Every structure is written in C-alpha cells, then in structure tokens.
Chain A
Amino acid sequence: MKNLYQNTIKKWGVLLLIFSALSCSELDLLPESQVPSDGFYTNEAEIETIVAGVYDGLQLSYSRQASAGGLWSLTEVRSDDMTILLSEGEWGRVENLNMLATSDITLDFWENSYITISRTNNLIANLEVVTDEGLKNQFEGEGKFVRALSYFNLVRLYGDIPLTITPTVSSSDLPDLTRQSTSIIYDQIIADLTEAIDLLPASNDVGRATSGAAKGLLAKVYVTLGQNSLAKPLLEDVLGAGYTLEPTVKDVFSVTNESNNEILFSVGYKSASNGEGNGFAYHIFTDGIGYVPTQEHMDLSPAGERYDATLAVIGVENRTIKYDPDYAIEYEGDNDWVVLRLADIILMYAEVLNVENGDANMQPAIDELNKIHAREDLTPYTIGDFANASELEQAIRDERRFELAFEGQRWFDLQRYGTLVSVMSNHLGVTVTEDDLLLPIPQREIDVSQGVITQNTGY
C-alpha cells in the first residue's frame, strides 16, 4: 500500500515537472505589426521608406485626414477670401483671428509640422547606408527641401520658433526648445534649400521634390524676405527649366491630370488608398464646418472661364469648385495639394520685374502678368491700363488672389505685402493688430517646456 502510494507520487511528480516546464513563456517578444527601429536603416530600400514617411508628414501638415484643421484653415479661413458656414466656438475664432492658445487647431499644425521636421532630421542622419551616390544625394535633398518647407510655413505663422536639425533618439537628448529669431530660422531655410538645389534631380516622381521645386521655393523665401535680387535669377532658372502652363486652371486641378507640367511641387493625396485621402475637399462642401468663399471674393473675381472653374453658387451658398466636388468624399478627398506651380512663379517674376523696372519699363512685367491673366478668356492687359508701377503692382496682386485662390497663398501674400493689418481690419470690420496675425503658440507646448517656449504677445 505504502509502496503503491509512493510510486504514484513518483509518476505524478514527473507530470508535475512537465507542467512546471510549461509554466514559462518567452518574455523577449518583438512586435509583429511594427518594426523595431533598432536594426532598421540598413539598406537603400529601407531608407526609401523613411523618405516616403517624410512626405507623409507633409500630408499631415497640409490637411489632416480626420479633422478640419491643417494649413488650409490657418491660411485660407483666416484670410479675406474664405469664411466658415457654421462658425461655432473655436472655428469662429480662427476666422476672427482670436484663436485660443489651448486650441487644437494651432496644436495640430505645430505638432504635424515638427513631426515632419523630425522625420527629415531622422532621414538626413541615416543616409550613410545608401551606396548609390546619386540616390543618397536625392534623399538628402528631399529631406532638406521638406524641412525647409515646414520651417517656412511655421515661421510665417508663428514668428520665432524652436529650431532642431538633429533627430531625437532618446529621452535624454531632447532638442533645445528656446525660440529662435526668424532670421536664424530663415538662415536655416535658405541653407537647406541652397543645398537641396544641388542635391536634387531635375525631375522626380510626382509628389517628390526636384531642383526646380527647391529653386522655386527658395525664390519665394527671398521674395518673402524682400530680397528680390536673389530671387530673380532663381525665378529665371525655373522659367527656363521646362515647366509649361496648362491651357486652363481646371486642367491644373483635374484629379486625372495631377502629374501636369505646371506643378513644381504638390503633396499627394488619393482616395480609396487606405487612408491617403485629403480632409480639405470634404470640408469645402460639407455644411458641418463648410469653408466657403467670401462674398467679396466672389464679387471681385473677374468673370470668365477661370471664375467658372473656381467659383460657383450651389443652392444659396458660395462654394469653390477648384477641388473636384465629385471627389469630396469624407476624409477621402482625391485632389493633391498644390504647393508651388508655374503660375505662382510667373506672377512672382512679374512682381520682381515690376519693382526692378519701376514706372519706366512696365512692359516686361505686363508680359509676364498676361501669361496668366490671358491664359483663358480674359482680355490681356496693355501698358495703357496702368498709370504707374504701383497700379501694375496692384494688378499683379489681384491676379495672384484670383489665380491662386484657395491654394493657401493669400494670407502669406498679404503678410509679405505688409497689408495684412489693413486688409483684415477692413474684412472683419474690427481693428486688427499685429498681435492678431501670428498664431498663438500651443499652450501645451508652453506647459510641457515649463515655460522655455514663450507665448506670442497678445495671447
């Protein structure tokens, strides 16, 4: 009896051991649906995906999928060209230039821009594994182009901002958050773009940076800084680089013609592509928030084919139809966001020529202006239309307003003309001050930095 009992225990003892062995699972698990960054960045193909991630950052900054924010609302809606149908709460504040520092709208743009910048920093720091020298240069150029574009948008919207050009890889090497003066930011933008011009190829896939795009953007930076003499040769380079105007504005924005030769650089969006659609198209046509052209814009825009391709009254609401309404699917818009196109370059060139030549020699600028103005059915301007260069300047500005309408240009144009305060005071019917023009630094960033990042005045 006793033996039997002991034997049994022995048998079970073995089983017990088996079970105990089961009682151990592997603890060092690696993710299955994400990639560990440790051990990545080993070859060209992997770096290529990092480049695509950089462009994804631009998609976020220009129009976040799931929300109505993005550069669109911060430029168009705040300008005198657009208004909001249902301006409840914070949206009314965007329109009326009195956003709160705690607003998600300012935070989202800040966040997405800096995420994009950090991705470019990460790309630039991990290029040594790319063996093909040409490709390595291209990737570096793309990184620097996107970084410059992101800083250019940030500096124009927020003024002084923190500057970081190296990636954050651990919590112990967090970037310096001190706000740097706009001139330091612009130095970085110019340095990046100057390098990018040399690094980038002349042609590239649609949606990717080229040397032409970098030149065009750098020219725009110089024009913004009032350094026309530096802008002019770059503009001329671009004009001679083989870009051509499309026959109509409608063609430029047709979703079936997005690789057209007028575009220097655009941010790609596509519907039915697993979350790659844009958010702005829907918000133009929905009543939820509904970004619509102002009556003033409708009234002033010259009638003609361009007007008909850009503006319409649907029901009783003013609408822009520049972005194809058929593709205005909720969060799934198909239109790319055009950042820079030849028409913009030509009009900047007209502007530069006009300032340079003055009253004495207006014809060269008028010729450039007419390339755009008379592209479709509008009558070309003649020298007799302008008493002096400042009248011509106004015509060029108006042309920019209606040609480049709803492309995120108006606000920045008014800003560099120095007329934002007067135009916006007039538009809103209240006294707008310089303080209202810059966006509030997101309160979260001030709190998290423990005050190292300071607020803009007036907030």
Chain B
Amino acid sequence: MNLKIKLTVFVLLLCNFTLLAQDSYPLTGVVLDESAMPIPGVSIVITGSSKGTTTDFNGKFEIEVANGDVLNISYIGFKTQTITIDNQKALNLTLIEDTSELEEVVIIGYGATKKSHSTGAVAQIDGDKVSKVATATAGQALQGQLAGVNIKTNSGNSGEPAKIQIRGLSSISASNSPLIVVDGYPIQGDLSSINMQDVESINVLKDAASASIYGSRAGSGVILITTKKGKTGKVTVEYNVYGGLKNGIRDNLDKNPISSSLNKFPTLAEWKDYVVSQGATNLDEINLAESFGTNTNWYDEVYRTGYIMNHQLSASGGTENVNYFLSANYVDEEGIMLTNDYTKYSFRANIDVKANKWLELGINLNPTYSETRKINRENHQLFRTAPWVPVYHTAATAAITGKEIGEYAHENDFDIGRNPGYTGIRLREQSDYNPIAMLEGEWYTTNRFEGFANTYLKINFSENLTFKTSFGGYLNQFEDQRYLSSIVSREGANGTLAHHNTIKITDWLNENVLTYNKSFNDKHQLNVVAGVSTQATSVTTSNVSANNFVIDYIQTVNGGLLSGGSSTRSKSTLNSAFFRVNYDLSNKYLFSLSSRWDGSSRFGSNNQYGFFPSASFGWRVSEEGFLESLDIINNLKIRTSIGTTGNNTIGDYSHIGLLGITNSILGGGATTGFSPTNISNPNLSWEKTQEFNFGVDLAILDNRINLEFDIFKTTTKDLLLEVPLSNVSGFEFFTDNQGKVDNRGFELNLTTINTTGEFFWKTGFNLSRYKNELVDFGGTQRLITVPDPKRPNEFLTEVGSPLVQYYGYVSDGEVPYGSHNTTWPVNASTDFVYAKDLNDDGVIDENDKKVLGSPYPDFTWGFTNNIEYKNFDFAVTFQGSHGAKIFNIDSYYENSQYANESIEGFNLPQADKDRLVIRSNSDANVQDASYFSLRNMTLGYTLPSTLNEKIGLSSMRFYLTGSNLIFITAKNYTGFNPEASTEATTFPGTYSNNPLVTGYQRGAHPVQRTVAIGINAKF
C-alpha cells in the first residue's frame, strides 16, 4: 500500500515534470538600473533548479521558462528581485540599488562572501571614500575609518608610509605589521606604493579565523586591497586633478617649556629682563648678542608652505569578452620643511578576458616609481641654534667673526676655539650647525621602483567548479644616496661622507585554487576553496660609502675615499596548501572551517611546517521564526570564531648557527676573519597566535541603524623571541620560541542612516580598545632598556604588564634660580630635577622609581559623516586617541643644550644635591599623547546632468578637501605630533629601532594640515 502510494506520487511528479517541460518557452528581457543604463552580468536563475543565465553587454538576456517558475534576479549592489512567470514573453526590469550594508561583499582571501553571511571580524572601506583625501599615501586617508586598525602617521617626510597595527601588539622580536595582499598577491612592501585612486575596496581581516587562510604570515592581521576592474559597458574616461597647500601645525610651539620660567622661547630682551629681575649682574654675553640685532625664528626659517599636486587619468570599460581598467597617476609634493620633495609616477593595467564559456584569463600590471629628497634631521637637531644667530652673516656678525656677509652663520663661528677669526667673548653653547645649512648642506635622496605583475587563468569546469591558477612577480628596488657636505660636517672634510645603498627584493608567486560552489535544495549552501601556493623571495643589498671629500662638487661615492662596501644576498621560500569550507544551513546557521599548512625555509628542519586551523560559526537569529515577526529587526547575527595564525617575520637563516665577517687589521692590512654570530636552533618554529572572537551584528529600523560589536582575546605564544642571553656567553641573544603575550579588547562600529531622500545623511562611529600583557618573557622577569646614554631614560619590560612602560623618578620641583648659572645663555632649567622620595626612607635611589605610564592608548575612535544634498556632497572624519603617554625628549634637548652643569657645581646644600636626579630619568618628559582631530573633510559639488550634456561630459564634480583642519593635543603635550614615536620592527636594535622603546619621541616633525581643491571629470 505504502509502496503503491509512493510509486504513484513518483509517477505523478514525473508526469508533472514532463508536462512542465513541455510548456516551457523562451523569455527575453533587459535589465536596467535606475538611470536606465543596462546592467551586464546580472544573474537570472530559476529558483529550485540549476537553470540560469546572465545578462549580456546590453543588459539583455534570454531564458527558457515555464509558467509558475520563479525567477531570481540578482546583482551585487542591487536589491534582489523575484518574478513569478505568468505567460510573460518579455521582461523589462529595473534593479534598485541596495544601500544596505548587509548586501555588501566582503573579501576574505581566496574568495568573497556577503557581509550578512560573514562569520569573522572583517573591517572594510570603499576605495571611493579613501581616494577623496588629498594625500600621496594611503595611511592618512584610512585614519579613523576602521575599528581596531590603528594607523599612525609619524614622519614629516613626504611619501613615508604610515604605521599600521591591527588589534594590538603581539610580537616582540618579529614584525607586528599586517600582511598586505594586493589583488591576491601578498607583497613584500608597504602601502606607500598603492595608489588609492585605483582601489576598489580595502578589507581588513582582523580575527585569526578570518586571517588563518594566510597562515604563517597572518599573525598581525591581513589587509586585502582590491583594485578596480573595468565594468562591461560604455567606456568611462576619468580625470581627477587636485592641488593644495600644506602646512605644519605648530600650535604647540608656545607650549614648549624652553624656559620653564618664561614658558616660551624668550627673546634676548625678555631673557635679559628676566635675569636682571632675578638679580643677575654679568650681562656681557647678552649685551654682545643683543648688539647683533638679530632675532631669528628658526621655525619660520625651516618650515614653509608646501604643496601637493595630483593628476590621475583612467579609462575603464569592457565588452562581453574583455574588461579593462587603465590608469596613470602623477603626484608631486613639496614638503613642509625646506628641501623635502616627493614625486611619484604610477601606472596600472587590469585586464580580464573571457575567452569562452569555460576559460577566463587576465593580467594586473602596476609599475610605480617614486623619488624623495628626504630630511635627514629631526627637530631636536634643527632647533637648538639660538635666536641671536642670523641665518646668514650680517654686517654686524661678519665684523666680529671675520666671516663673509651672506655666509651661513653657525653658533660655532662665535667661539675662538672653533673660529680663530672670532674677536668677541665666547657665545657658542652647542656645536650643531645652522639648521638651514644642515638642510641645504645634506643631500639624502631615495628612489624606489616597484613593479607588480600578476596573471591568472581560470577554468570553469562546470557552473559549480572552477580552477584558477595565477603566476606573478613583484620587484621592489630601493636606492638611497646621501651626501653630507663640508658645510655641515662637524670636522670639515674629515666629517664629509657619502653612501649609496640599494636593496632589491624579487618575489614570485604561484597559486592554484579550486573553488566549488553549490546549493542543495535551497537549504544548503556550500562553498569550498582548496589550493596550493608557493612563494620565493630573494633580497640582495649592496652599499658603498666614502668619506673625506675634499671638494663638495662630486657628491657620489667616487669623489671621496672609499670607506666601506658590501653586498649580501638572502632567500626565503614558502610552500603552502590551504582549504576552506563555508556552509550555510537554511541561511541561518553559518559554518566556516579553514586551515593552511605553511612550510617555510626560515625554520629549523625539525619544525619547518606549521598548521593553522580555524573555525567560526554564525547564527542569523533574525531569520528565526520567533524574530521574523519583529519588523524592527532587519538583521541580528551572532558570530564566534577561534583560529590560529602564525608569524615568520624573522631573519632568513635564524635557525642556522652562523659565522659572520669580522675582519681585523693584521700585518698592517685587512685580514678576513669569521666569528660566530648566533647559536643554531633546529627547533625554531612559528610564532603562534590563537584568537577567540565573539561578535554581534545588528541592523534595525529598515537597516538604517547598523551595529557591529566584537570582543577578542588573543594569545601569542612561542614568540619568535630574541631571548636575551648574558653577554658572558658571547652572544647577546638567542632566537627561540619563548614567551607569551596576551591582547584583549573590543571594537564597536555603529553606522546610522540619519535621513534619506533629498537630504541624505549617514554617520559612522567606531571605537576600539585593546590591552596587552606580557605573560612570559623567555624566563626573564624584567628588562630595562636605555635608548640614549647621553640623556638616560628607562623603558621597562616586565612580566604581568604591558610590553613597554616608562620607568623612572617622580619629579618634585625645579632647582631654584640662583643656585646655578642661569645668566647666559638664553637659558632654561638645569639637567636636574628633585626626585620624590616615594618610599620615604630619606634616600633617593632605585626604590624611588616607578612606572610612569605606557605608550598604548586606552581607546581610539573615529567618527565619520557623509551628507548628500542635491548636487552637494560632504564628508567629514573626526578621529582621536586617548590615554597613551609619550616620552618626549625634545623639551630636554631645548632645555639642556645650555645647562651644561654638574650637580657638584650647584650652590646647594649637600642634602638637596642628593635629591637631584637627571631630568630625563623622571616623569618630567612623560606626556599625555591623547589627541582629537578633524582628520579629513571634503565638500563636493557635481554639475547637474543637464549641464554635462552641453559640455560633453558624463559627469563633473568640483571639490574642496582638507586634512587635519583641527588637531588638538593634550594640555601637557609640548611636541608637534603625539603619534610620532619610534616604533621598531626588529629587535634588538638601536634607540630608533627597538620595540622595547616604543613611545620614545625625539625630534618629531609637525602634523601636516592640507587644504586642496580638485576637479573630477568623467567622459
């Protein structure tokens, strides 16, 4: 009986199927967008079957349908439509653009997914948004846009890349920089070569589960950059030009405590009044200096209004078979400091060919060339010269120094010890050169060529299965040349020098990826990615140097005596296999499993391969019956992930015991020597990061309020640590997998569409916070690092605390006037401050030191607004960071350049002398690095389309844009850029390149304010 029924049903179904099949007929149609332009590539699928097609170049399609079929018409960026077939013979459809964030596509590495179905923590931004900012490099445009992505611009030199850090700091000896992947190619470079106007989107893989598909290189996150592709349709030619002026923000100048008593850099007259009021009588030096009649403002001499000029011409479009995007870009920048210049040329060709039904291929080409004349001096060196020194000798100073009128004047000229022709009393107090001479007397130029080429071949075996193989190469050739002329060397020709260094990175990559996509019964959606990849990188360096240039005419190495030369070659390779399964059940339950196996030449034979698995799960709660009735909630998704990533950014041969070149002079000549430089470690392996992430996505009120919230906990263990060894062993460090760092924090991203319609207003707010803790430091409990013995200050690295903390005495007042010589020169306070006796034992010693703060912010935030009204568009980004401290040594330089005194010489009781400590080792220089900024603001006006037609354009937009229009620093911060601190990528290193001295500010250049106008025309 049962069987019979079943059979009957089966037969009926079969008949039904046949009947329907017999009734099918061809349906034609066209799909247009809201402005009646055809949309090619729209997918039209009969629901519940595998039958489907896509629209052609003119938006047209043809499909066999039968009555009752339900057509699903979808295209990325548009709302999906469903049409039930009821004898229609032709369809004219208009797709409505979908502004809902949920429909956005998230690039996740070797694939993409809809944002609504993403299970990891991925931040993203459109290229359009970042290309609006007038800046030559990407960093500044990204500031404040991405939660959990900390971007610092800390160089005053034009063209320097920003420092990017994702979710805190996990590694000590290895790099903390994220992996940058451009169109699928992990590059051995930074963001500086990326032309933001070519960028379609930037996606940041923050949690380990998302990033683990990049395995051993993803420990610090992954930045995926997708460049623009041509869209099938009419050719679009776009020309974008902007030009603007730049200025350094020097609002803090008056806060510089060059004189703690006068609270600003005093003029000679003010200084004189002050010391006279304090009872000083010997005014010889002041009177002499005053007689020159000079009062140079060195800041005004060094800083200038720079400019930025950008031209971008691009053409994009495509036919049914070929799509292309071509662009050429030229940037010319004049820095805000004398002699600083930057020029960049970049070109791009992205071509995709659809050869036939099953074969696609394409190529991306991107050569970039840039040239910079750098400032090789920092502010602390430039601004030590006293204001009574003129830039060029005047009649008054020439007479007393015996120099020519118009020559550079240096403080050294006012000292018979340095200038035998000087006839006055000694005025010189420091030996640095006149800042203008320092800038004009040194040529430091760098140029860089980056060539990127990647080709692919894609075979569509079936609608579900595709195979893609790609082969590409990347070349990064960097050259820097320096010449220090006799004008500014401390010892004339003996101090002149030149060097010429080149670094060439050659990299090639082959990847083979299979992708399988299938949906079953409308309920199960499966996406599988599997592939293998191999990448090889070689680095060659060469450098030559010379000194003792007798004449300044020749500035290349051949003009002097050769002092050094070397070239090196090293290589690393990486073999990988990777795999990911995304499975959606009923559109509600989202599962993702991924893993990567990496084998790296950088590790010991015992541990060459690493396995980096991850798993994530998402639950779209809003799709559940019990919430479906709640209209207010459009989307509610809970996601959680756990994953492992690695870090392999150490030297190429760290696991091998090596001998390095250590020549010596024997028998009167150089003799080749070798000495052990490191201990072998065949067990050396990956640094492993495990991360747990929990997130909630919520969209309510017709998707107008979108909230994303993530909390994470990251544990990085088996750090690739340069484990400090006692030097008694003959080695300073030993590379080993030791140590553990925890990071935990949260990110919040809130997007709201405040108004729609004619006045469209959208805001975004993001907030992030992380805290790091050193859990294990390879057995060492604490390590104090002193970067500069001349001005000692201590950085403490201690188990149980953040990686870096400032450490020292608490200051307890200044040495009173009169107890030391403050008459001359234009003085300041002394090198010393009283220290607080913290433990009240009557003695100032080690036990009175304490932690004085850390360089990590409590939280950072960004706030963006986008407004469109009629033909106007307006965008503004505010951004801030709070709670970080910075160790700013600059004021110490400015203060103590003159106060060259020893405690012993002070007219103070011994008990008071015993309470004095060196100023730099106290909290006197620890300042609040918090800031609030209006990072970027843009106002645009697009010509009405009626007008465009008349002048033969498809669109034309004028815009006015500004960066850092507001930049407010904390009250006690006296420098120019609270973000500009040393941040090293290698350990151990010098003061400027040691991660354990993070937060050390010395001579930072100002934050730059830019105002530019531009035109964007499309033909």
Contacts and interface: CB of A to CB of B under 8 A. Distances in A.
B363 to A, nearest CB: 16
B472 interface: no
B666 A268 contact: yes
Interface stretch (B176-184, B311-319, B651-659, B1003-1011): B651-659
A50 B675 contact: yes
Given A22-B510, A23-B534, A37-B680, A90 B571 contact: no
Nearest to B599: A27
B728 interface: yes
A206 B789 contact: no
A315 interface: yes
Given A25-B573, A118-B729, A287-B431, A56 B794 contact: no
A102 interface: yes
A102 B786 contact: yes
A447 B785 CA distance: 11
Which of B535, B573, B791 counts the most chain A CB atoms within 10 A? B573
B730 A268 contact: no
A291 B920 CA distance: 23
B681 interface: yes
A247 interface: no
B463 to A, nearest CB: 13
Interface stretch (A129-137, A186-194, A272-280, A299-307): A272-280
Interface stretch (B6-14, B414-422, B624-632, B703-711): B414-422
18 contacts: A23-B533, A25-B575, A30-B653, A32-B569, A34-B653, A35-B674, A36-B659, A37-B656, A37-B658, A88-B791, A88-B900, A100-B792, A171-B681, A175-B728, A271-B563, A285-B491, A316-B416, A448-B780
Interface string B706-737: 00000000000000000111111111101010
Interface stretch (A328-336, A342-350, A397-405): A328-336
B575 A24 contact: yes
B416 A31 contact: no
B426 A52 contact: no
A50 B677 CA distance: 12
Given A88-B791, A96-B902, A259 B563 contact: no
B781 interface: yes
A30 B172 CA distance: 26
Interface string A193-209: 00000000000011110
Interface in B553-600: 561-575, 599-600
A88 B666 contact: no
B25 interface: no
B663 A33 contact: no
A285 B431 CA distance: 13
A271 B670 CA distance: 10
Interface residues of A, number: 112
A53 B459 CA distance: 59
A445 B726 contact: yes
Given A268-B666, A286-B490, A316-B417, A53 B784 contact: no
B663 A169 contact: no
Interface in B626-667: 652-653, 656-667
A447 B783 contact: yes
B732 A111 contact: yes
B235 interface: no
Contacts of B658: 31, 34-37
B570 A23 contact: no
Interface string A1-34: 0000100110010001001101111111111111
A117 B430 CA distance: 39
A27 B601 contact: yes
Chain A contact residues, majority secondary structure: loop
B950 interface: no
Contacts of A49: 672-674
Given A36-B658, A52-B673, 5 more contacts: A25-B535, A171-B725, A275-B663, A330-B495, A330-B547
A115 B489 CA distance: 33
Nearest to A85: B431
Given A205-B667, A287-B431, A277 B730 contact: no
Given A49-B673, A56-B663, A37 B561 contact: no
A19 B676 contact: no
Interface stretch (A160-168, A216-224, A351-359, A364-372): A160-168
Contact of A444 (B668, B729, B784, B831): B784
Contact of A56 (B605, B652, B673, B725): B673
A103 B512 contact: no
A317 interface: yes
Interface of A: 5, 8-9, 12, 16, 19-20, 22-38, 40, 46, 49-59, 86-92, 96, 100, 102-105, 107, 110-111, 114-115, 117-119, 121-122, 162, 164, 167-171, 174-175, 177, 205-208, 258-259, 268-277, 282, 285-288, 314-317, 328-330, 332, 336, 428-430, 442-445, 447-450, 453
Interface of B: 358, 412, 415-420, 426, 430-431, 459, 461, 467, 469, 471, 489-491, 494-495, 497, 510-512, 532-536, 547-548, 561-575, 599-601, 605, 608, 652-653, 656-677, 679-681, 723-732, 734, 736, 779-784, 786, 788-792, 794, 831, 896, 900, 902, 904, 918, 920
Contact of B728 (A25, A269, A445): A445
A30 B358 CA distance: 43
Contact of A57 (B659, B675, B789): B675
B666 A328 contact: no
A30 B570 CA distance: 9
A329 B550 CA distance: 12
A89 B920 contact: yes
A149 to B, nearest CB: 14
Contact of A274 (B565, B667, B788): B565
Contacts of B565: 274
4 nearest interchain CB pairs? A118-B730, A268-B665, A52-B673, A315-B417
A158 to B, nearest CB: 12
A52 B671 contact: yes
Contacts of A5: 358
Contacts of B573: 25-27, 29
Given A29-B601, A29-B652, A53 B667 contact: no
A269 B569 contact: no
A440 B532 CA distance: 56
Contacts of B792: 89-90, 100, 102-103
A58 B726 CA distance: 19
A297 B723 CA distance: 46
A5 B465 CA distance: 14
A444 B780 CA distance: 10
Contact of A208 (B461, B600, B666): B666
Contacts of A447: 724, 780-784
B571 A32 contact: yes
Contact of B666 (A32, A35, A52, A275): A52
A50 to B, nearest CB: 6
Given A36-B658, A206-B668, A270-B665, A31 B652 contact: yes
B665 A444 contact: no
Contacts of B568: 32-33
B642 to A, nearest CB: 29
A27 B600 contact: yes
A207 B665 CA distance: 7
Contacts of B904: 96, 428-430
A25 B576 CA distance: 10
A314 B417 contact: yes
A104 B786 contact: yes
B728 A114 contact: yes
A52 B418 contact: no
A263 to B, nearest CB: 12
Contact of A171 (B562, B736, B902): B736
B200 to A, nearest CB: 27
A38 B608 CA distance: 19
A22 B534 contact: yes
A294 to B, nearest CB: 15
B566 A174 contact: no
